[in-house]
Amino acid sequence: MKMVSVLLLLLSTLLGTPAVPSQRPSCYKRALKEHSCHTIPEGQDLRHVDDALQDHFWEGTGCEVICYCNLNELLCCPKDIFFGPKISFVIPCNSQ
């Protein structure tokens, strides 16, 4: 009976915590307040990805986080999560 109790305690401990903590940042939403996708002000630190990808923006100075604009809200994710690792490496990076 003690062995069953120990096994149950061990299983509950293992199931309660992740085995390997995730090092990748997750997605998040950003409200544009009174702006829409077509009226994003210059100070928002966003750049269009490509003319073929409407409403997609690079966030910040690099090309690691990409945002999709839906009405007046941005969904921002690391590019590998957003597009998947097989596609994200072919997305053009405009770091200017």
Q: Are 43 and 89 in contact (CB under 8 A)?
A: no
Question: Does any domain span residue 1?
Answer: no
Distance in angstroms (rounded) separating the CA atoms of residues 21 and 72: 33
Q: Domain for residue 16, yes or no? A: no
In total, how many domains does the chain have? 1
Is residue 62 one of the residues assigned to a domain?
yes
User: Which residues are CB-contacts of 28 (< 8 A; sequence separation ≥ 6)?
Assistant: 75, 76, 77
pTM attached to this predicted model: 0.65
The CA-based angle 62-88-46, given to 5 degrees, is 35
- Does residue 53 sit within a domain? yes
In the structure encoding, which two tokens stand for residue 49, read together?
């990805």
**Averaged pLDDT for residues 60-71:** 88
52 assigned to some structural domain: yes
Q: What is the pLDDT of residues 14-50, one digit of tens each?
A: 455 444 445 556 899 988 877 777 777 666 788 888 8
Domain that holds residue 72: 23-83
Per the prediction, the chain carries an average pLDDT of 74
The answer to whether residue 79 is domain-embedded is yes
Inside any domain, residue 93: no
